Amino acid sequence: MNKSWVLLFAAVALWGEDAREIAQKAQDRTRSQSERYTGTLDVFNGNRKISEKRWTFDRTGSHGDSKAILRFTAPPEIKGVALLIINHPDRASDQWMWTPALERDRRIALQDRSARFFGTDFSFEDLEERDVDQFDYKLLGEETFEDAACWKLESRPKQKKASQYTSSELWIRKDNYVILRIDHSKKEKLIRRLDYSDIEKIQNIWTPKTIEVSDIPRKSRTVMKVEDLKYNMPLQDSEFTIEALRHAR
């Protein structure tokens, strides 16, 4: 093997390692033991607002190994509906839903995590946390995005990670490792875009307070505003069980 091939392989290896390192740093800088926020979601079809929802979100644990409870507080007809999400590092999450009208919890069949979550443009998979170990990364280049210098990365799910997306492109700010945009594609066709904005430093973690998710084929979008966000709350594991799901906080 001649010297130029060796150099090329070395460059490719370094390129790949950098991409994973960037993704790892982006993940590490958002790591917290727990999180609590209130989300207000406006769902738009084209430019027409068709619904408004509000939920509270509690999480304990972090990327790939976390538990979360999400409770709708508005509109009135779904107030009290709650979802327990148990994320696993090696497989799809387990989810249970509590429906107050039926007074029972039921396990959600989640073979297809591309299903929309309660009429929003988030899919069930979008609500799970991405863990760097579940993806392979490639650095595509550097770009200026929203007036900020960014790395542009491509991620592809590893074999055992079942994902609706075959690839994703991520724009990560160079100065603080905040993700500004994720474009999710299926068979090289863009199907969902997540834009993160209103970035504030909360308890030393750079945090987007507005997340806009667009379902490209449907031409619909959901804008979530994050309020009252707190990290590292003293939340107990026992608050993230099926029993806890049944009881309103």
133 binds other proteins (CB under 8 A): no
166 binds other proteins (CB under 8 A): no
Cα 129 from chain centre: 5
Coil, helix or strand at residue 83: strand
List 114, 138, 166, 190, residue binding other proteins (CB under 8 A): 114
- Please give the residues from 80 up to 99 whose contact with other proteins meets the rule CB under 8 A: 80, 86, 91-92, 94
111 binds other proteins (CB under 8 A): yes
Distances (CA, A) of 104 to 15, 74, 100, 109, 143: 51, 20, 7, 16, 49
Minimum separation from the CB atom of position 58 to other proteins (A): 13
108 binds other proteins (CB under 8 A): yes
End-to-end CA distance of the chain: 65
Greatest Cα-to-Cα distance within the chain, rounded to the nearest angstrom: 71
Instruction: Name the residue nearer to other proteins (CB basis): 16 or 80.
Output: 80
Buried b (16+ CB within 10 A) or exposed e, 86-113: bbeeeebbebbbbeeeeeebeebebeeb
Count interface residues toward other proteins (CB under 8 A).
41
36 binds other proteins (CB under 8 A): no
Residue type at 8 in one-letter notation: L
Both structure tokens of 123 = 């899919």
List 9, 15, 17, 106, residue binding other proteins (CB under 8 A): 106
Minimum separation from the CB atom of position 165 to other proteins (A): 14
> Which region among 22-30, 54-62, 151-159, 235-243 touches other proteins (by CB under 8 A)?
235-243
Instruction: Name the residue nearer to other proteins (CB basis): 18 or 94.
Output: 94
Instruction: Name the residue nearer to other proteins (CB basis): 187 or 247.
Output: 247
> Which region among 4-12, 111-119, 147-155, 204-212 touches other proteins (by CB under 8 A)?
111-119
220 binds other proteins (CB under 8 A): yes
List 97, 115, 202, 229, residue binding other proteins (CB under 8 A): 115
Coil, helix or strand at residue 75: coil
- The answer to whether the beta carbons of residues 53 and 43 sit under 8 Å apart is yes
Question: Distance between CA atoms of 66 and 235, rounded to whole angstroms?
Answer: 12
